[in-house]
């Protein structure tokens, strides 16, 4: 048997507060997701440099061209399959375009194959999970081939970024709510129903009740969109009936997108809440040759600090493929302000912090009739939530953010040194939130998880009107002065709003007509 060595970036520790229950059942069947290197990486990097610079002469790749030229090489897939066979593992699925191989086997077989120990742990918030410590080990002939091995550890990786409005308090007299159509009007979205478009939505738990959707869209006076449920890694649409749980997120996302683009198809990708499940769900959406989403909305995430280097890199590579294909990815920036709910200072949320994502932050909105009267950074305090934002520790400064500055709440100003979050914003405060219907109950919901589908709906409308996908929109938006409503008041904890881009609301909330012109 070949000598094995640690796969760089695969090291894991057990989350503080976790209790060891004991060894996993060696006969338990599990699935593990292996991501492979991209062929012609240098050529692909050159293409991406032009896309990131906003070169108007670069056309998006077709899914077929990406698979053929920049997918996994047949020889690399063959090496992984030979490795699997040598360890008694079954190949469930291979996908050259997504550069992935899904393997199935017992705990004992995977422990032997990757020289890891898998144990059961329990955590007060994460619940019971399968975990590992240390690195994953691979043989020499796979060392340059394999970029990530995911799924050995299935601890929950992300949380949904939505917040239900708390009971009325006399201390908070300013409360309002809006339907997605009212917000589309306030933000001057161009007319249209998104006909011919597909919007992908990523969900890591819960589900939706078709009866809720039917009632909700009827109440708005719009036709119900076509909603498809796509199962990823054995997860599926499984509503719990609890609006405070993942059902609230799933239904919120569908109702916002569906209200704005009722003529579109909505493909909801359900996956397990683990790094493997999350990455596979987005990869399946990006490379989906059946539904072919032109826009993907992600309302889940977690602080960069909780991701392994290999999972960050693997996920970012999938998002890079989306940009190359002309698929716009909108992601919520988080609901816990500049800390992102993590200890030890400032943190940004991933995948919103990926430079290939349109990171969506939060505002608090006041309106009179058909006009916005006041819009500030969403910050309802420690208990009420605040829009996520700050500076990445994982990703370099993108070309389209070069020359920007970040302003602290204390008044200091310094050049932005790495990827700044968010890019844009929209109404997110539960106190000025979205009226939705979940589990038969009308409720008002906020959070940046509402902003990602809001922007996704806008871009789907624009795509339908253009007859082409806007694609990777970041360079164009940063070049287009005035396409967004600049938010200059408020803070999200450590960072303050300022004229132009800031680490609270990015470029600002959308002026849909101007965004359409910019794209």
The binding site for Ca(2+) consists of: 486-487, 500, 502
Identified catalytic residue from 253, 275, 280, 335: 253
3-state secondary structure at position 446: strand
Phi/psi of residue 67, each to 5°? -65, -45
Residue 324 · residue 357 · CB < 8 Å: no
Q: How far apart are CA 294 and CA 271, in angstroms?
A: 20
Joined together, the tokens standing for residue 69 give 């030229």
Q: How far apart are CA 321 and CA 63, in angstroms?
A: 9
Asked if 147 is an active-site residue, the reply is no
Asked if 249 is an active-site residue, the reply is yes
Question: Residue for token digits 């050995």?
Answer: 152
Q: Which residues sit in the known binding site?
A: 486-487, 500, 502
Question: Residue for token digits 């996704």?
Answer: 456
Q: How far apart are CA 431 and CA 415, in angstroms?
A: 33
Q: How far apart are CA 208 and CA 242, in angstroms?
A: 10
| Closest alpha carbon to 272 in 422, 155, 418, 147 | 155
C-alpha neighbours within 13 Å on the C-beta side of residue 343: 2
| Closest alpha carbon to 127 in 36, 203, 205, 223 | 205
Q: How far apart are CA 339 and CA 321, in angstroms?
A: 29
CA 391 to chain CA centroid, Å, is 17
Joined together, the tokens standing for residue 290 give 């059946």
Identified catalytic residue from 153, 209, 233, 249: 249
Other C-beta atoms closer than 10 Å to the C-beta of 5 total 14
Q: Describe the strand order of the beta sheet including 163-164 as a list of residue ranges.
A: 163-164, 441-446, 434-438
Residue 355 burial by Cβ neighbours in a 10 Å radius (0-12, 13-18, 19+): buried
Q: What is the DSSP string of 301-327?
A: EEEGGGS-HHHHHHHHHHHHHHHHHT-
3-state secondary structure at position 89: coil
Asked if 253 is an active-site residue, the reply is yes
Q: How far apart are CA 325 and CA 322, in angstroms?
A: 5
Identified catalytic residue from 10, 294, 449, 498: 449
**Residues carrying an active site annotation:** 249, 253, 449
């Amino acid at each position: 048997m070949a000598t094995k060595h640690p796969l760089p970036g695969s090291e894991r520790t057990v989350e503080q507060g976790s209790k060891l229950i004991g060894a996993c059942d060696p006969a338990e069947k599990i699935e593990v997701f292996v991501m492979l290197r991209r062929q012609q990486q240098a050529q692909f990097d050159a293409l991406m440099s032009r896309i990131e610079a906003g070169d108007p002469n670069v056309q998006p790749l077709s899914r077929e061209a990406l698979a053929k030229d920049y997918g996994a090489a047949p020889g690399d897939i063959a090496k992984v399959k030979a490795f699997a066979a040598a360890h008694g593992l079954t190949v469930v699925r291979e996908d050259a375009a997504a550069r992935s191989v899904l393997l199935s086997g017992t705990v004992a077989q995977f422990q032997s194959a990757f020289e890891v120990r898998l144990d059961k742990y329990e955590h007060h918030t994460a619940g019971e999970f399968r975990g590992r410590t240390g690195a994953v080990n691979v043989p020499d002939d796979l060392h340059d081939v394999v970029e990530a091995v995911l799924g050995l550890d299935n601890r929950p990786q992300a949380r949904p970024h939505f917040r239900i409005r708390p009971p009325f308090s006399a201390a908070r007299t300013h409360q309002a709510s809006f339907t997605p159509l009212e917000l589309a009007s306030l933000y001057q979205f161009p007319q249209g129903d998104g006909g011919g478009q597909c919007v992908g939505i990523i969900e890591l738990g819960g589900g939706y009740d078709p009866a809720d959707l039917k009632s909700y869209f009827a109440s708005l006076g719009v036709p119900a969109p076509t909603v498809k449920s796509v199962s990823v890694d054995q997860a599926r649409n499984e509503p719990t009936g609890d609006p405070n749980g993942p059902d609230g997120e799933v239904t919120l996302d569908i109702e916002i997108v569906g209200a704005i683009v009722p003529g579109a198809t909505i493909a909801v990708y359900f996956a397990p809440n683990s790094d493997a499940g999350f990455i596979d769900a987005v990869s399946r959406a990006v490379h989906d040759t059946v539904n072919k989403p032109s826009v993907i909305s992600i309302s889940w995430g977690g602080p960069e600090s909780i991701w392994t280097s290999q999972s960050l890199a693997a996920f970012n590579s999938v998002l890079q493929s989306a940009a190359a294909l002309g698929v716009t990815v909108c992601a919520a920036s988080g609901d816990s302000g500049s800390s992102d709910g993590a200890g030890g200072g400032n943190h940004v949320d991933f995948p919103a912090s990926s430079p290939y994502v349109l990171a969506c932050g939060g505002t608090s909105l006041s309106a009179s009739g058909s006009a916005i009267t006041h819009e500030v950074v969403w910050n309802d305090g420690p208990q009420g939530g605040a829009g996520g934002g700050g500076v990445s520790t994982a990703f370099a400064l993108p070309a389209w953010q070069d020359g920007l500055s970040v302003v602290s709440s204390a008044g200091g100003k310094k050049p932005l040194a790495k990827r700044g979050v968010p890019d844009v914003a929209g109404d997110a405060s539960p106190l000025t939130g979205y009226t939705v219907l979940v589990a038969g109950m009308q409720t008002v919901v906020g959070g940046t998880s509402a902003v990602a589908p809001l922007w996704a709906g806008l871009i789907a409308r624009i795509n339908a009107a253009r007859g082409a996908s806007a694609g990777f929109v970041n360079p164009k938006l940063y070049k287009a002065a005035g396409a967004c409503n600049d938010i200059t008041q408020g803070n999200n904890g450590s960072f303050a709003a300022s004229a132009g881009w800031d680490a609270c609301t990015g470029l600002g909330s959308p002026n849909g007509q101007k965004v359409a012109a910019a794209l």
